[in-house]
Structure 1
């Protein structure tokens, strides 16, 4: 069957790379794609957050499955339009995607359902939150209520940091209690009835070594997350995932697709930090490297409401994925710098996923984004996988980038 993937980052490269391995995959089309995705899929221009444009393309080109990568098209209702047209699509409806589209919605749902999480206050605007931040005991976590591409979060240790964070937010704000403990990411697939628990991951959000610098969309990841033991995972599924899915179903907006829970593993048990309604980036790169099953079969079964028919199989090895970002990220990244010798890196046995790359007029690979590459490796344990990932990243010739040197070190 022909498959349309929406998005153009490292997550979408990982998805296209894995979909391409399926004997069920025919032509794979990705909008907009990137230079790496172009090696396994046809890249096209398409308004991916326009439900009508996506539906028309899928219908006109006999697309058998649409896979929505980023959150924007989900919140815009692309899934709703495709389903109305009878086109199989992997992802939640706009109503269900409010779990990511509005942090305030998720906090209210979690409180009503008794789901453990941080205490919080909602404010209609950043200006309304000024007095609260100025007088409230610190630290607090300040979040823009809408989509923020994995960013838009500040842990304010001082009043000055809190007020500066508010100055950067245009719209509603959620301010949360600052929880303590290791973080972990939990992924499940669901067709609205069956829940398939996928491996965990541990993201590294801060830009620089030793968890310093600003928050980013993610600078690296390990999978599975050592801190999320089987007992804690079972507790999180029972106390967080299943009550969330039940609350959405009871509200008439059942959830389908992948649900990604960011967890804080506190002394009193797992607590929900936030939800994403799509695969994470760079978590997807690590997960796709570990997946031993046919991704087309899994996503299509999820889209068609028969997830009970399939089983996901996983490599027992550990994955370490390191993001190679452009200088200036997460602010204004430097673009147009030349990247070379990716083949030399991959010759060591890693997979290099592209995010912000393009070919210039002469065909040379150049940086064209903030997070530019993800170098993903498998190993018998974290130490082996991270050694391989870092050996490979040192093979890449690129003077315009930087990466953390401590992914998985702890």
Structure 2
């Protein structure tokens, strides 16, 4: 079978790396891809991830048996809808189903309708009304842009003055159309983690958990980002919490989406807060998290392709529970200086493509080859340094040892990835 993977980031490199190992795959294509993906797939750089019409035409021309959608922008553009209409199996939800991620207002209203546990909220499209709503909520204030903002559209404001300033920035055009509305939520105290489920429209197979690090700097300081690191398994997801989340959140969500005429196929990412009242939804994503996908792909012991295909074809019932390796996998994100606000592009990266040994993988997230074939930075998050170990301590040591071997003065990274798990050791 030939497969087309859509996307160009670290998540897609990890997926390409895992998919390429499958004996079911004859040829793997990636549009647009990146220099790291080019080592395991044929990259087609002339396509953009949100070009639903062009990608559907490409999939038809290549006669692929499956399209795997990586980024949320492709889902919002309706790529899954077009592929389905063309009779091409697609791993990823329709644009309407993907609103669980692409519109926070939609997602919150959906959860309210179906009594899926989450924080109390309000939706506002005028600065005056949003500021007035701060009287209803207690600080710290959680303020989110309604639409897609590359993981940067969430602010946690410690006081009313900061909250009002953030409202002005968001509704004032900081995120363009994505910030035309804001969602203000009550702050939920607890520990956050990400739980994944592979869905066929009717059924869901749990696919492990991970813990992300959203803030840019050590100590969970600085602005929110798309994610500066992750590790799996996440100790916060003990068996009781996972069972409760599956019973109260994952299965009801899948059932309710089908009842509303928007059956959900693909991976459902539930960002959860472990609270005194049980797990509650922080947010849903309609695709694999980034960098959570990277650690999950390294942990998975079997072939990923049968699961992707079963979701696309609408029947995961015959598949066994996914198997994962023992031990821990950690990912350290190396980002360009200035990220997330104004990352500096074009800086030279040396040493990222050396052999780091069997326990380390470097996934490319924002790289480019210049005319001389040298690797340069073209994005905010640029490299994902992933390592496996018997426990968080060993995995962490291996990852940071690899980070130190990379010569990139134009980049930075957090040095405390995995600190919550380390505290449990």
Q: TM-score band, normalised by the shorter chain?
A: over 0.9
8 Å contact from structure 1 (residues 330, 370) kept in 2:
yes
Correspondence for 1:36: 36
Q: Does structure 1 conserve the Cα–Cα contact (< 8 Å) formed by 2:202 and 2:254?
A: no
Structure 1 residue 361 corresponds to structure 2 residue 371: yes
* TM-score normalised by the chain length of structure 2: 0.94
Structure 2 partner of 1:2: 2
Counterparts in 2 of 1:229-240, with a 5 A limit? 229-240=238-249
- 226-235 or 191-200, larger mean C-alpha shift: 191-200
Counterparts of 1:68-79 in structure 2, within 5 Å, are 68-79=69-80
> Which residue number in structure 2 is paired with residue 208 of structure 1?
217
| Aligned: 1:11 with 2:11 | yes
Equivalent residue number for residue 121 of structure 1:
122
Aligned counterpart in structure 2 of residue 184 of structure 1, from 152, 174, 193: 193
Indicate the RMSD between aligned Cα atoms, in angstroms. Answer: 1.3
Shifted more, 330-339 versus 42-51: the winner is 42-51
Structure 1 unaligned residues grouped into runs of 5+ = none
CA deviation map 1:239-266 (0-9, x unaligned): 1111111111111111010000000111
Q: How many residues align?
A: 410
Cα distance in 2 between the residues matched to 1:27 and 1:125:
50
Q: Is the 8 A contact 1:126 1:173 kept in 2?
A: no
SS of 1:87's equivalent in the other structure is coil
Task: Answer whether contact 1:345 1:396 (CA < 8 A) is retained.
Answer: no
Structure 1: how far apart are the matches of 2:86 and 2:402? 45
1:134–1:163: 8 Å Cα contact kept in structure 2?
Answer: no
Paired residues of 1:339 and 1:398 also in contact (CA < 8 A)? yes
Q: Is the 8 A contact 1:348 1:388 kept in 2?
A: no
- 1:56-67 equivalences under 5 Å are 56-67=57-68
Q: Post-superposition shift, 1:49?
A: 1.7
Superposed counterparts of 1:82-97, under 5 Å: 82-97=83-98
Deviation at 1:134, TM superposition (A): 6.6
- Partner of 2:134, secondary structure, is helix
Contact 2:202 2:255 in 1 (8 A): no
> In the aligned structure 1, how far is the partner of 2:210 from the partner of 2:232?
4
Instruction: Output the CA distance in 2 between the equivalents of 1:398 and 1:191.
Output: 42
Residues 231-380 of structure 1: pairs in structure 2 closer than 5 A: 231-311=240-320, 312-344=322-354, 346-347=356-357, 349-380=359-390
Q: Which runs of 5+ in 2 are unaligned?
A: 171-178, 421-425
| CA displacement, residues 360-396 of structure 1 (integer Å, 9 cap, x when unaligned) | 0110001111000011111111111111111111111
Q: Is the CA contact 2:228–2:333 (under 8 Å) kept in the aligned structure 1? A: yes
TM-score scaled by length of structure 1:
0.97
> Which shows bigger deviation, 159-168 or 62-71?
159-168
Q: Which residue of 2 aligns with 1:155?
A: 156
Alignment partner of 1:173 is 2:182: yes
Asked if the contact 2:202/2:258 (under 8 Å) is kept, the reply is no
Preserved CA contact (<8 Å) 1:345 1:392 = no
